A and B are shown apart, each in its own frame.
Chain A
Amino acid sequence: MTAVPIGWFLILGSLLFSIGALGVLIRRNVIIIFMSIELMLNAVNFVFVAFARQLHSLDGQVMVFFVMTVAAAEAAVGLAIIISVFRNRETVNADEFNLLRW
């Protein structure tokens, strides 16, 4: 019933994704980086639902269901990692997590 063509939805999803990516890149607080990642995931979900509506296929919505589950698992593990890192280094600044170097 909607009069808006799918292209608009796709561009909106892409915009959200870009904003999320920007957040990942420019913030240094790992929790905000993490939330930006959630935003990117949601942008993808949004595109999935839009395509499901356009193509009359419920598989898109099922996929969103899985993405949400993964996101929940990821949030649980990710936040646990952040807590244990914070406990060791007293910071959540991504710049200071550079042990990967060399």
Chain B
Amino acid sequence: MHEAITHTAVAVSYLWLIPALPALGVLVNLSLGALLGKGAVGFIAPGTVAGGFGVALYCLVQILQLPPGSALEQTLWPWISAGNLQVDIAFRVDALSAVMICVVTGVGFLIHIYSVGYMHDDPSYARYFIYLNLFTCAMLILVLADNLPLLFVGWEGVGLCSYLLIGFWFDKEANASAGKKAFVVNRVGDAGFLLGTFLLFWSLGVGTHSLSFQDIAAHAKSIPLDTVTLITLLLFVGATGKSAQLPLYVWLPDAMAGPTPVSALIHAATMVTAGVYMIARLNFLFVLAPATLTVVATIGALTALFAASIGLMQNDIKKVLAYSTVSQLGYMFLGVGVGAFSAGVFHLMTHAFFKGLLFLGSGSVIHGMHGEQDMRRMGGLRTYMPTTYRTFLIGTLAIAGVPGLAGFFSKDLILAHAFSSSPVLWLVGLCAAGMTAFYMFRLVFMTFWGECRADEHTKHHIHESPATMTVPLVLLAVLSIVGGYVGLPEMWAWGNRFDAFLAPVFAAAQGGEHHMEMGLEYALMAASVGVAVGGIALAYVLYVARPELPGQIADQAAGAYDLISNKYYVDELYDAVLVQPALKLSNLLWRVVDVGIVDGIVNGSARVVGASSSFWRRWQTGNVEHYAVSMLFGAVLILVFFAWHSS
């Protein structure tokens, strides 16, 4: 099968435009933003992304027209040239990258439009769009990169923008430290990524290496199994950091401190999926290490369940969505971990649609409620914000896995693959799916149904959001419905076109192709639908029909309730085990080593010099005569020396 697919590359000259357009937006708004005013900034920033989306669509059309397995390539210039390492700045668009750039620019464009409305009254309007464009540029470099080092540039770039945007309202200390937390936790992962890259280069063997994906693919088979397992595990550490998986997920819930469109773009639709993309991109490497894939799938499934269970108890609307994102990312890792790379990427895409929609919807709610994020003070909003409510409901149905919407198809595909790999993983995923349906509908019921629990003043001002915000909501809602139909189950209508489109990219991974029995597949589907409906029904009972029940349950199972509502005390654990010792050590290094020893040496040497100078400066009388006498004395000394020496 591997040989049957042609890997032809077409050299084109327009790929650089895709990241360059947002970069242009950064430059223009950075240099002229204050001059141009909000109108122009709000036009340039989404405009450049729209331009990128245009080029991305053109690339997609090109790829579709070329024979399967084709790719568009553009090498810009040599970048790193050191010994047998020859890395180029080169972009490459194959089916996977084409999907990614379309998602990034498309969803990114909608979120840019939305931001124009959402951030309209913010004083740092231009700065916001500079960061957002910079993020888009870095994310596009990440998905366009032809080699691992360039991917890492994008990887770090999105990390930086994430940090900048989480701490966008840095005048509140909580926001600034949330940004720092995201950055530091990501560094842990990035260290793993870098080590993996180094180890990969080191183990590629003799000859010049560009670390481009073709180069890695060509030499991957010659790497010993132990080494390739270690490499992929290290790379996966990077993925857990960037994509918020156990045990490095802790930064993502805190990242909700940023503006809500940022949460939608960076912490739901694009950046956090970079880890999934990276593993899918390096699928030929990961399939060589079955142990790593098992780890990936296990971590993914556990994260999905773990985060979903925390999401059950959260009261902050964005925190629920954050834990939901962590959980859904777990699904994607479960997908790629069981070798269903295209299913993982499929879920990545549909998740970008519906989770982007849900975040933007929650942003619309927060906007309408004047910054209120606590669902206990919401309720009944469906009458105040009908468009937001309807679109949000569509997104919720999609994520809950209700048949016919995008999330159903992608989640089901992953669960089906998981089942054929290991029923245990499937069961874990199924439980998480039930929880997802429950907490998402809990959110909907608490926010949009029932009586409004806000105070009179807030209630008086609740309003539907402006068109710049609702139009992206509607578009994303449409995508959340139709987005799944590119990847129908095999036995329906046109089957899984998405999988067929991506198949050449994952050619190396499809050695063990399996076709499930139709009956089993329907059974699995029925199970997930049943779980989803059960979750929804439970949420209805607890939060609509008998709203007094949750309190009673919490009283009866106080221990479990405390454990979960405190997020399993993971933050406290990390604080005690990692942060406090690090702080103590840093304090020690600061007070003893730095102040005492390093500064002591520096200041001490300065003091010695100063003391000797205050002695020797008496020699410098400042009197010209004394200097003249010294000169003559020196001349005489020289003469006397010669007289002595030559006699």
Direct contact of A and B (CB under 8 A): yes
Determine which of B617, B622, B632 lies in contact with A25 in the assembled complex, contact meaning CB atoms within 8 Å.
Answer: B632
Stretch of A52-60, A63-71, A92-100 lying at the B interface: A92-100
The number of chain A residues touching the other chain, given as a range, is: 10 to 19
Whether A100 lies near B628 (C-beta < 8 A) is no
Q: Which residues on the A side are within 8 Å of B173 (C-beta)?
A: none
Q: Which residues on the B side are within 8 Å of A28 (C-beta)?
A: 625
Q: Which residues on the B side are within 8 Å of A101 (C-beta)?
A: 620-623
Please tell me if A24 contacts chain B, counting CB pairs below 8 Å.
Answer: yes
B583-630 at interface with A (beta carbon < 8 Å): 617, 620-625, 628-629
Whether A99 lies near B622 (C-beta < 8 A) is yes
Whether A21 lies near B620 (C-beta < 8 A) is no
Q: Which chain B residue has the least Cβ–Cβ distance from A37?
A: B628
Provided the pairs A25-B625, A94-B625, A95-B623 are in contact, do residues A102 and B617 lie with their beta carbons within 8 angstroms?
yes
Whether A102 lies near B622 (C-beta < 8 A) is yes
- C-alpha gap A28/B625 in the complex (Å): 8
Provided the pairs A21-B632, A25-B632, A102-B617 are in contact, do residues A97 and B624 lie with their beta carbons within 8 angstroms?
yes
Whether A100 lies near B625 (C-beta < 8 A) is no
Q: Which residues on the A side are within 8 Å of B632 (C-beta)?
A: 21, 25
Q: Which residues on the B side are within 8 Å of A21 (C-beta)?
A: 632
Whether A95 lies near B625 (C-beta < 8 A) is yes
Q: Which residues on the B side are within 8 Å of A98 (C-beta)?
A: 621-624
Q: Say whether chain B's binding surface is mostly helix, strand, loop, or mixed.
A: helix
Nearest chain A CB to B420 CB, angstrom units: 87
**Interface digits, A7-39 against B, CB 8 Å rule (1 contact, 0 not)?**
000000000000001001100100000000000
Nearest chain A CB to B584 CB, angstrom units: 47
Whether B629 lies near A94 (C-beta < 8 A) is no
Whether B629 lies near A100 (C-beta < 8 A) is no
Q: Which residues on the B side are within 8 Å of A100 (C-beta)?
A: 620, 622, 624
Q: Which residues on the A side are within 8 Å of B622 (C-beta)?
A: 98-102
B90-112 at interface with A (beta carbon < 8 Å): none
- C-alpha gap A34/B346 in the complex (Å): 92
- C-alpha gap A14/B629 in the complex (Å): 17
Q: Which residues on the B side are within 8 Å of A94 (C-beta)?
A: 623-625
- C-alpha gap A100/B620 in the complex (Å): 8
- C-alpha gap A100/B628 in the complex (Å): 14
Nearest chain B CB to A41 CB, angstrom units: 15
Determine which of B617, B621, B623, B628 lies in contact with A24 in the assembled complex, contact meaning CB atoms within 8 Å.
Answer: B628
Q: Which residues on the A side are within 8 Å of B624 (C-beta)?
A: 94, 97-98, 100
Q: Which residues on the B side are within 8 Å of A95 (C-beta)?
A: 623, 625
Q: Which chain A residue has the least Cβ–Cβ distance from B624?
A: A94
- C-alpha gap A101/B617 in the complex (Å): 8
- C-alpha gap A94/B623 in the complex (Å): 8
Determine which of A24, A97, A102 lies in contact with B620 in the assembled complex, contact meaning CB atoms within 8 Å.
Answer: A102
**Interface digits, A74-102 against B, CB 8 Å rule (1 contact, 0 not)?**
00000000000000000000110111111
B335-353 at interface with A (beta carbon < 8 Å): none
Nearest chain A CB to B479 CB, angstrom units: 77
B622-647 at interface with A (beta carbon < 8 Å): 622-625, 628-629, 632
Q: Which residues on the A side are within 8 Å of B620 (C-beta)?
A: 100-102
Q: Which residues on the A side are within 8 Å of B625 (C-beta)?
A: 25, 28, 94-95
Nearest chain B CB to A53 CB, angstrom units: 24
Whether B623 lies near A25 (C-beta < 8 A) is no
- C-alpha gap A25/B624 in the complex (Å): 9
Q: Which residues on the A side are within 8 Å of B628 (C-beta)?
A: 24-25
Q: Which chain A residue has the least Cβ–Cβ distance from B632?
A: A21
Q: B: which residues have CB within 8 A of A?
A: 617, 620-625, 628-629, 632
State the 4 A-B residue pairs at the shortest beta-carbon distance, nearest first.
A101-B622, A98-B622, A100-B622, A94-B624
9 A-B pairs with C-beta separation under 8 A = A25-B625, A94-B624, A95-B623, A98-B623, A101-B620, A101-B621, A101-B622, A102-B617, A102-B620
